[in-house]
Amino acid sequence: MIDLRSDTVTQPTIEMREAMANAEVGDDVFGEDSTINKLEEQVAHLVGKESALFLPTGTMANQVAILTHTQRGDEVILDAESHIVYYEVGAPAMLAGVQLLPVQGLLGRDAVQKLRQAYRPPDIHLPTSRLLCLENTFNRGGGTVMTPEEMKLVFEQAKEFGLSVHLDGARIFNAAVAARCDVKEFTQYCDSVMFSLSKGLCAPVGSMLAGNTDFIARARKYRKALGGGMRQAGILAAAGLVALKMTERLAEDHANAMALAEGLAEIKGLRVELHRVQTNIVLADITAIDTDAQSFVEEMHKRGVKCVAFGPHLVRFVTHKDVSRSDINQAIKVANIVIGSF
Ligand code: TLP
């Protein structure tokens, strides 16, 4: 089976399994897990923040960030297609009691303009605009990269409005590899950043949240409140330390994604916006075919390729360590056969 559903499906490497087996551990709630402490220190340094926190998932990291930045009733400005709006189960309302202001196209070209329109000036009737959440790379955008220059402009505008800025950087290393720059080029333009160890970096579990010392101290309490105080979790952090050394390999996933995109774009009936294929995600629009995305996905699956429906007529493919170039060629062949069958 060729699994292109997500980069979350990767198997941990042998080096990770060995590191996990040999990890030195302690009770992390007492701050005594030396492997977690090492991971948190390395990550803080890597992303240019004072402090970092290890969490089980990206969703928990985003929610802890929102809890830490906001008060109940505050408003959070973010793209209408962002992961926090779309895939986090309504958690900001459930947990932090905040109101989301989903803005169509916020993560596009006119980010600053859109932010200006969304911001609420102080007024007794209005919710308080408190937090801007960015997402880089932008998952539902097709893995697109917001450049450091674009982030700088929107960050500066947010600061003028007195907003905090959280970056959902689940795939921020994909952005850095695609832009051929240090990850700090991006993370300098946010107050807090979350990134995943468990996506293209192949760790079995784990996400990191980084920010200043006070922010992370408060975030640590929210993590505990959500049940994320994990005791001897150095066994997981050990894989995370190996994952941090795997950022450069993401270039291979990007090249495979482009090869897949080009192959799919040649199939009559499939539309792929090649300029949006900037990292490891490929979105294919099947509107021209007489079927829906779910049926297309099922037919692909029957023939050995897994992908996901991303909208009524939109299909997502994600490349990662466990798919090779020959798998990509096979996936293109299968898509050709499936399209021919409708
Ligand atoms: N994304 C998953 C699904 O939830 C859609 C995927 O397969 O792409 N931020 C972004 C931008 C993400 O893409 C994801 C996961 C998360 C946050 C949440 O991370 P986890 O799955 O660790 O909670």
Closest CA relative to residue 273, chosen from 177, 141, 148, 179: 141
9 Cβ partners below 8 Å, 6+ apart?
A: 3, 320, 322
Q: Is 232 in the pocket of ligand 1 (CB under 6 A)?
A: no
pLDDT at 117: 98
87 Cβ partners below 8 Å, 6+ apart?
A: 59
Q: Is 81 in the pocket of ligand 1 (CB under 6 A)?
A: no
Which of 6, 107, 139 most suits a substitution to test ligand 1, by most atoms within 8 Å of the C-beta?
A: 139
Q: Is 174 in the pocket of ligand 1 (CB under 6 A)?
A: no
Q: Please identify which residue in the block is written with the tokens 């996901």.
A: 308
Closest CA relative to residue 68, chosen from 41, 44, 43, 96: 96
Instruction: Write the DSSP string, 28-86.
Output: GGGT--HHHHHHHHHHHHHHT-SEEEEES-HHHHHHHHHHHH--TT-EEEEETTSHHHH
pLDDT at 295: 97
Residue nearest to atom 5 of ligand 1 (CA): 87
Distance 86 CA to ligand 1 centre (A): 10
pLDDT at 325: 98
SS3 of residue 294 by DSSP: helix
Decide if 260 contacts 328 (C-beta within 8 A): yes
Q: Is 281 in the pocket of ligand 1 (CB under 6 A)?
A: no
Q: Please identify which residue in the block is written with the tokens 């709006």.
A: 85
Q: Is 319 in the pocket of ligand 1 (CB under 6 A)?
A: no
Distance 238 CA to ligand 1 centre (A): 21
Question: Could you give the angle at which helices 325-341 and 250-265 cross, rounded to 10 degrees?
Answer: 30
Distance 340 CA to ligand 1 centre (A): 32
Segment 59-81, tens digit of pLDDT: 999 999 999 999 999 999 999 99
Residue nearest to atom 19 of ligand 1 (CA): 58
Decide if 174 contacts 277 (C-beta within 8 A): no
Distance 21 CA to ligand 1 centre (A): 27
Q: Where does the chain have alpha helices with state H?
A: 14-22, 34-47, 58-69, 83-86, 91, 111-118, 148-160, 172-178, 184-187, 213-225, 234-243, 250-265, 293-302, 325-341
Segment 276-302, tens digit of pLDDT: 999 999 999 999 999 999 999 999 999
Decide if 72 contacts 96 (C-beta within 8 A): yes
In the chain, the domains with their CATH numbers are 10-247 (3.40.640.10), 249-341 (3.90.1150.10)
207-211 and 51-55 strand pairing: antiparallel
Q: Is the previous residue joined to 59 through a cis bond, with omega within 30 degrees of 0?
A: no
CA 217, 220, 224, 228: dihedral to nearest 10 degrees? -170
End-to-end CA distance of the chain: 22
pLDDT at 228: 98
Distance 283 CA to ligand 1 centre (A): 16
Q: Enter the tokens of residue 10.
A: 């990767």
Residue nearest to atom 13 of ligand 1 (CA): 139
147 Cβ partners below 8 Å, 6+ apart?
A: 179
φ/ψ of 9, rounded to 5, equals: -90, 0
pLDDT at 218: 98
> How far apart (Å, rounded) are the C-alpha atoms in residues 339 and 169?
34
Residue 24, Ramachandran bin (φ over 0: left; ψ between -120 and 50: alpha; else beta)? beta
Pick the atom of ligand 1 nearest to 56's CA: 22
pLDDT, mean of each 10-residue run, the chain (342 residues): 98 98 98 98 98 98 99 98 98 98 96 98 97 98 98 98 98 98 98 98 98 98 98 98 98 98 97 98 96 98 98 98 98 97 90
Q: Enter the tokens of residue 36.
A: 């977690």
> How far apart (Å, rounded) are the C-alpha atoms in residues 190 and 202?
25
